[in-house]
Amino acid sequence: MDSSDQLDATFSALAHPTRRAILARLAEGEATVNTLAEPFEMSLPAISKHIRVLEKAGLIKRGRNAQFRPCTLDAQPLAAVALWTDQYRHIWDVRFDAMDRILNNMKDAKDE
């Protein structure tokens, strides 16, 4: 998968709140599918589909531990997203600085 395809797959996987919640849980450490499914009101097959999307995007890896296949977070694709978004940081910094000036001017005008 080239870097553009990887970025597309990562953003697609991150687009769903359930998958983001699964990644947040895996950031705490490895977990089984049953453990990952506990906080959600959906079937195990539905959770498994979300896990497959994350796995296909390279965001998680599945190991083998006897009959269990624990999932672990692979943050490498997230690092690629961070690098991609970082190229736009200067734009947001300029805009937030401008908004801060406007809000401070409005506050100063209100205080007078």
**CATH code of the domain in which 32 resides:** 1.10.10.10
Q: Examine residue 97 and state whether it is found in any structural domain, yes or no.
A: no
Cα–Cα distance between 1 and 97 in angstroms, integer? 38
In 3D space, the residue among 22, 46, 54 whose CA is nearest the CA of residue 35 turns out to be 22
pLDDT average per 10 residues of sequence, the chain (112 residues): 87 96 96 93 94 95 79 93 92 92 90 80
Q: Tell whether 23 is covered by a domain.
A: yes
Residue 45: inside a domain: yes
Q: Say whether 60 sits in a helix, a strand or coil.
A: strand
Closest CA to 3 of 91, 61, 83: 83
**Residue 112 placed within a domain:** no
pTM of the prediction?
Answer: 0.78
Is there a domain that residue 101 lies in?
Answer: no
Domain that holds residue 57: 3-87
Name 60's bridge partners.
73
The predicted pLDDT at position 54 comes to 97
Q: How many domains does the chain have?
A: 1
In a domain? residue 108: no
